[in-house]
Amino acid sequence: MGIVNVTPDSFSDGGLHASPEAAIEHGRRLHAEGADLLDVGGESTRPGATTVDPAEELERILPVIEALSDLPIPISVDTRKSSVAAGAVRAGATWINDVSGGTFDPEMLRTAAALDVPYVAMHCQGAPEVMQADPRYGDPVAEVREALRLRGRACLEAGIRLENLVLDPGIGFGKRLEHNLALLRRLEELRSLGCPLLLGVSRKSFIGHLTGAEEQRDWLAEGRHDRPQDRIGGTVAAGLACVQRGADVIRVHDVRIMREALLVARALQAPETGPGVD
Ligand code: HH2
């Protein structure tokens, strides 16, 4: 899943594709690079971001979705709002990606059910405005698993079909480094929920924490320490681990690099074929 952020303030590419023309070109490039799905968003959910008015969110994304919907791949809308999801689907989107898992807008689950398109329910402890203030868990994997199970049930009760349900543990959303690491190390425990899993690790701050970028601050030139767009090596390592542990979809900014890494990793995993030597 390639990321198309039509936002002035996303954490890693805010403002880069904020005009419809730039976002459309970016989406077309990601498709050419091998994306199987594009996720178009008009509201940043980075820690501390504030809510965007639905009319403004629609104004940002509709021209982009309309233009990209002629591509031969599905277009997803990254939104927490039912009115935005409905407008986006009318404009050609065929997936809904909701980082609140239906907890932000009480109409979202019924709307997604009526629209009858794949719906990604992501886990987030607390709203993005406050989520990183003090996230706490006993066993983060067990708790996120249980929360996703309950969300999944709420989705089905609202009429979303099981075939349309995708779950996401929400890496970086209301989670500290140790919580993110536990979820990624024990991703297999979420498989038994019985739904496809989507993971978003791309350029996230847990990668900067692991690479020790803070300590490198002094010797990296010109303040180029730990910019999100420099977290590509860590993104690839984390993305591969996710796929090897059972993720069905990974949401990434750097489609070409991630796809190349996946193709090579897959080739290296294939069992030996062809004639042997004696
Ligand atoms: N992460 C972000 C946004 N949407 N959706 C899902 N399902 N899973 C994620 O992990 C996820 C997501 C945050 O990344 P980004 O879009 O790059 O930044 P921002 O929210 O600042 O626009």
Please tell me the total count of domains within the chain: 1
Q: Which atom of ligand 1 is nearest to the CA of 253?
A: 17
Mutate to test the pocket of ligand 1, among 12, 39, 40, 45 (most ligand atoms within 8 A of CB): 45
**Does 15 reside within a domain?**
yes
Average pLDDT, the chain: 91
pLDDT for position 218:
47
Residue 92 lies in a domain: yes
Identity at 270, one-letter amino acid code: A
The per-residue b/e assignment along 190-217, b for 16 or more CB within 10 angstroms, e otherwise, is beebebbbbbbbbbbbbbbbebebeeee
d(CA 69, CA 63): 10
Strands (DSSP E) along 103-261, which ranges?
A: 119-122, 165-168, 198-199, 249-250
* pLDDT at residue 227 in the model: 76
Three-state DSSP at 184 gives: helix
Active site residue 204: yes
Instruction: Tell whether ligand 1 has an atom less than 6 A from the beta carbon of residue 11.
Output: yes
Q: Could you tell me which of 149, 89, 153 has the C-alpha nearest to residue 118?
A: 89
Confidence at 220, pLDDT banded by 50, 70, 90: very low
Write the pLDDT tens digit of every residue in 123-175.
998 776 777 778 889 999 999 999 999 999 999 999 999 999 999 999 999 99
How far apart are alpha carbons 44 and 17 in whole angstroms?
Answer: 13
Gap from CA of 267 to ligand 1 centroid (Å) = 29
Residue 116 lies in a domain: no
What pTM value is reported for the model? 0.92
List the domain range (segments joined by +) for residue 80. 1-98
Does residue 219 sit within a domain? no
State if residue 184 touches ligand 1 by the CB under 6 angstroms criterion.
no
Question: What residue's CA is closest to ligand 1, atom 8?
Answer: 200
In a domain, 127, yes or no: no
Q: Is residue 4 part of a domain?
A: yes
Q: Return all residues near 76 (Cβ < 8 A) that are at least 6 apart.
A: 1, 37, 38, 39, 40, 93, 94, 95, 96, 97, 118, 120
Q: Could you read off the pLDDT of 242-270 as tens digits, one per residue?
A: 999 999 999 999 999 999 999 999 999 87
pLDDT tens per residue across span 176-199 = 999 999 999 999 999 999 999 999
Give catalytic status of residue 175 as yes or no.
no
pLDDT digits (tens, 9 = 90+) for 12-69: 777 777 899 999 999 999 999 999 999 999 999 887 778 899 999 999 999 999 999 9
* Closest of 150, 158, 239, 164 to residue 195, by C-alpha: 164
253 in any annotated domain: no
Lowest mean pLDDT among 140-144, 163-167, 205-209, 227-231: 227-231
Exactly one of 110, 251, 259, 266 is catalytic; which is it? Answer: 251
CATH of the domain at 15: 3.20.20.20
pLDDT at 226 over 70: no
**Residue 13 CA: which ligand 1 atom is closest?**
17
Atom of ligand 1 nearest to the CA of 122: 7
Q: Ligand 1 pocket test: pick from 6, 9, 99 the residue with the most ligand atoms within 8 Å of its Cβ.
A: 99
Half-sphere exposure at residue 45, Cβ-oriented, CA atoms within 13 angstroms: 26
Atom of ligand 1 nearest to the CA of 44: 22
* In-domain check, residue 166: no
Q: Render pLDDT for 69-117 as a digit per residue (tens, 0 to 9).
A: 999 999 999 999 999 999 999 999 999 999 999 999 999 999 999 999 9
